[in-house]
Structure 1
C-alpha cells in the first residue's frame, strides 16, 4: 500500500458508508481511502457473504472495518475480507454504543490493549493485507496522555503501524453514541503529540474536521486526515482531494458530472432489484449550498421511496437542479 494512501480518508459510518455510498464517493475522488460500515466478525463468518462483503471494484482503495474481541474469529474474518479483495482490514476500537459494549468490542477495548494486540497479531497473521486500528484518545476517566501511549505502544508491538485516531474520548457511561460524537471535547493536540512521540507510525486524525482548509494544518504534522459527517453532508468537497492532496492533474468533476455517472450505476443496480432510495439517499448533499438544492432533496425524499420508483425520479431531480424543469417539476 502506498505511503500516502491514508492522506485523506472518509470515516466508516454505520448506516451511511454502504456500497452505494462508497461507489458514489469514488466518482468524486479517485484517491480518497474509503471504509465499509463496521461489520462484526460473526456477520462475516456466518452471514450472507455477498450482502455483508460485496463491493464494486471501482471502490478501491477500500478497507473493511471489523468489530469484535475474539482473536480467532477476527483472524478468520480478516482472512475472508482479504480474500474478497479489500485493501485493508481495520479493527474498530472506537465505537461507544451500548450494543457494541455488550459484545465487549469497540471503544471499551481501549481499557484492554493486550487483548487488542492479540487480536491485531492474529489478524495480521491471517490476512495478506495491512491491519489497522481506529480508536479514540481514551475512554471515561482515563488519563489520555498515559493510556493512549500505552495502548498504541502495546498494539504497535503486535504489528499495527497505522492508527486512525478520533481526537475525543468516548464516555461509555452517560452519553449516547450521538452525544459521543460531539460532547467530549476535541483534543487535536493529543493526536499531534502521539505522532511526535512515535514518528515511525502512520497517524491519521479524525474528529471535528469539516473541510480541506481545516485539514491543512494537521497535514503539516500528521500522515492523514479522516472526515466523517462533513464528507457525507457535503460530498462534493472530495472533488479537490485528488488535486490538492495527491497531486493529480485531472480537472475535478462537477456536481452534474458526478450525478450523471452515478445514474448509470443506479440503472444497473435497479435492474438487480435494489430499491431506488437505497441509492439516492446518499446523493442528497451533492448540491449542498447550490441553487435549487433544497428542491432537489425534497423531490428525491418524496418520490424515491415509492414502490416502483425508477430512474425517472433521479432524472427529474437532475432536471430540477440543472434548472431545466424547475417550474414544471419543482414549483413551490
Structure 2
C-alpha cells in the first residue's frame, strides 16, 4: 500500500474543498427549515460518480481510496449532499455487474437500504436491529415484505440498493415512512420492499459501502476538530487564549489521535478490499467502528472547548454531533461492527 496520496487523489481533494467552500446550502439550513439539495449535488453526482467504481460494475477501476478522499472532504464541511449515500449504494451494488449508465452518471440517484433485522447478506450476520421508533412498522410489515430503517434520503432518491438475506438487489419501494432525523440535513425514513426476485451475492459490496460512511465520519471528526481549534486559538480567558491551557489542548489532541487512527484504518481497509486481502472484512468493521467513535468524540470535545456557548443552538458544534451520531448508526452501528471484529477474530483463531 502506498503511504502517501497520489497526485490524482490530491487533485480530487483540492477540487472537493473548492466545491464545499463555495456551497451556500448548509446543515443549519435543514435544521431551521427542511432539507433542500445543495447546488453542488448535480456536479458531485455527474462528475465524481465514477470514483472507486470497479470495472465490473461499469466504472474505470479507480481505487476505492479515490472515492473516500472525496467523501471525507464533504463530511468535514457537513455538506448536506446525497452524493455519499449514492456512492455507498453504487458500492453496495458493485457485485451486480455493470450498472446502468444513468446510475453511474448520477442521473438516477440511489441510496442504500441495509439495516435489516436478521439479514445474512453481510458477513453472515444482520446489520443491527431497528430503533424502537420503527419497531411497530417493522412488525406490521414483517409478514408481507421487508423493512429497512435508517435509510438516508429515501424520499429524495430514484431507487435503492437493498441488502437482505438473499444478497443485494436494485429495489423499488412499496412504501416510505419519513422519520424525524437527529440531523435534519440527512433525512431518514423507513422503507418497505417486496421480497427480492433477482438478488445477487453481496460479495464485498457491504464492506465497500461501509467504508464510504467511515470516510464521511472521519471528515466530520476533522471538521469538529478544526472548529474547536479555531475557537481555542481566538477565545481568551485570564488574558490568554484558551488553547494554551492543557485542559483544552489535551482534549483536542485526543480527538486528533482518534481521528488519525480511524482515517488510516479506513484507507488501509479500502486498499485491502481492492487487493482482495483475506483480512479485509475485519479491517472494514474495525474502520467503521473507529470512525464512528472518532467523530462522536471529536464533536463532544468541540462542544466542551466552546464551553457554555457550545451547548447553544446558535453555535455550530452540535451540528457536527448530530451528523456524527446519524452516520455512526448508518450501515451498522459501531457497537455491531466492534462485535463483528471479535467474532471474526475468534473464527480465525479456531480455524488456525
Bin for the TM-score computed over the shorter chain: under 0.3
Report the TM-score when normalising by structure 2: 0.24
TM-score between the two structures when normalised by the length of structure 1: 0.25
Higher normalized helix content (fraction of residues): 2
